[in-house]
């Protein structure tokens, strides 16, 4: 009986050692039972391409926003030096008086154009060597009674001089030693130069008129050739003329001013007749030509005209044909063609929206 029990115990122990789940001490390694994975079949197909017609894509510009432009410009200084070259011969007595009578109108025109001027008078006589005449040698905007001073400076003692060399005299007047000597202070570096010759004889200086034209145009330096000019009130070309009332006098004919006219043409000056009853028309033309104040100012970009604002020295100027400005599309510019002209040296500001194409 005991033997049977022992065999039974051994059998039980042996049986328990083969347990594949176990976990108790003394038993073998447990190995879990895992089901194999289920794999679904994968079908490889060609890509599906949509071959329908693509619609046209329209590319549009972003919304345009007006941009503001500001142009700043400065008005010219309107500074002019005027050298009168007046024939001192006896035959010119009446013509010098006519010149003096018309001087006031010439002066008024310069003042209305806001020109800051200096004037001096020399003779065509070689003996004077181009020195400025008179006690008050330089007439300015501030000179008291300038007409009387001009009359004194253009009144000559009786003369029978035959060396009428106006072109040579103007050269002497504007070069050394006169420039820093007898005529010191007349020629200003920042001023335009206008020479006005009044004579009933043609020039008899040595040298070609083209030389004197080059001399004048070179005085203000490269790029400023147009700042110097010569105008002539002389005998008409090609035959000359008789001053009023002098037709009956021997030698009363005013010689044709070929040489002076040649220099005037080359320097952009005015040509007038010494035989006119009055010199006023010619002097007014000369005064207008001496006006260096600008009336037309080009804008840098094309504006929307309705948005333009014009300020002169910080003050708004109205859009007015008579007393203000107007815009000219053909030249893309602001113009002052009426009574108002921006004063010398004025700072001008043009504000506007740029036109959208």
Residues 210-251: tens digit of each pLDDT:
999 999 999 988 888 888 999 999 999 998 888 887 766 766
pLDDT at 126 over 50: yes
Give strand pairing partners of 254.
241
Chain segment 12-43, per-residue pLDDT in tens = 444 454 445 444 555 667 777 777 877 777 77
Give strand pairing partners of 334.
297, 327
Report d(CA 222, CA 187) in Å as an integer: 17
What is the pairing mode between strands 228-234 and 309-312?
Answer: unpaired
* Residue 154 CA: distances (Å) to CA of 56, 81, 95, 133, 136: 87, 17, 11, 8, 12
pLDDT at 122 over 90: yes
pLDDT at 156 over 90: no
CATH 3.20.20.70 fits 79-290, yes or no: no
Report d(CA 286, CA 117) in Å as an integer: 13
**Residue that wins the pLDDT comparison between 68 and 66:** 68
Report the pLDDT averaged over residues 2-7: 48
Report d(CA 186, CA 174) in Å as an integer: 9
The pLDDT value recorded for residue 262 is: 95
Report d(CA 308, CA 352) in Å as an integer: 4
Q: List, as one string, the DSSP characters of 185-232.
A: TSS-TTSEEEEEEE-SS----SS-HHHHHHHHHHTT-TT-GGGEEEEE
The pLDDT value recorded for residue 13 is: 46
Q: Indicate the SS3 state at residue 4.
A: helix
Q: Are 169 and 101 in contact (CB under 8 A)?
A: no
Q: Are 6 and 13 in contact (CB under 8 A)?
A: no
Report d(CA 245, CA 275) in Å as an integer: 10
The pLDDT value recorded for residue 46 is: 80
Say what the pTM is. 0.71
The pLDDT value recorded for residue 3 is: 46
Q: Where are the domains of the chain?
A: 79-290, 294-353
């Amino acid at each position: 009986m005991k033997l049977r029990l022992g065999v039974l115990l051994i059998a039980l122990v042996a049986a328990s050692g083969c347990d594949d789940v176990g976990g108790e001490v003394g038993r073998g390694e447990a190995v879990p039972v895992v089901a194999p994975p289920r794999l679904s079949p994968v079908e490889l197909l060609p890509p599906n391409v949509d071959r329908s017609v693509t619609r046209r894509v329209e590319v549009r510009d972003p919304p345009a926003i007006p941009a503001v432009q500001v142009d700043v410009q400065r008005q010219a200084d309107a500074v002019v030096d005027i050298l009168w070259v007046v024939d001192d011969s006896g035959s010119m007595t009446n013509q010098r008086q006519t010149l003096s009578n018309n001087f006031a109108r010439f002066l008024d025109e310069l003042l209305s154009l806001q020109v800051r001027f200096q004037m001096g008078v020399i003779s065509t006589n070689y003996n004077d060597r181009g020195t400025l005449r008179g006690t008050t040698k330089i007439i300015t905007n501030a000179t008291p009674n300038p007409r009387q001073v001009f009359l004194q400076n253009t009144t000559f003692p009786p003369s029978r001089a035959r060396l009428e060399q106006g072109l040579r005299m103007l050269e002497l007047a504007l070069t050394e030693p006169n420039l820093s000597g007898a005529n010191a202070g007349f020629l200003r570096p920042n001023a335009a130069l206008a020479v006005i010759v009044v004579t009933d004889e043609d020039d008899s200086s040595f040298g070609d008129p083209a030389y004197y034209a080059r001399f004048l145009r070179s005085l203000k330096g490269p790029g400023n050739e147009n700042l110097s000019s010569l105008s002539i009130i002389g005998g008409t070309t090609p035959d000359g003329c008789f001053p009023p009332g002098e037709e009956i006098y021997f030698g009363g004919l005013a010689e044709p001013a070929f040489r002076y006219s040649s220099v005037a043409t080359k320097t952009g000056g005015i040509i007038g007749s010494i035989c006119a009853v009055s010199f006023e028309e010619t002097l007014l033309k000369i005064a207008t030509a001496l006006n260096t104040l600008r009336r037309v100012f080009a804008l840098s970009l094309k504006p929307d005209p309705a948005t333009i604002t014009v300020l002169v020295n910080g003050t708004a100027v109205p859009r007015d044909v008579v007393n203000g400005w107007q815009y000219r599309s053909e030249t893309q510019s602001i113009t002052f063609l009426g009574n108002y002209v921006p004063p010398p040296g004025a700072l001008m500001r043009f504000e506007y929206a740029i036109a959208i194409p």
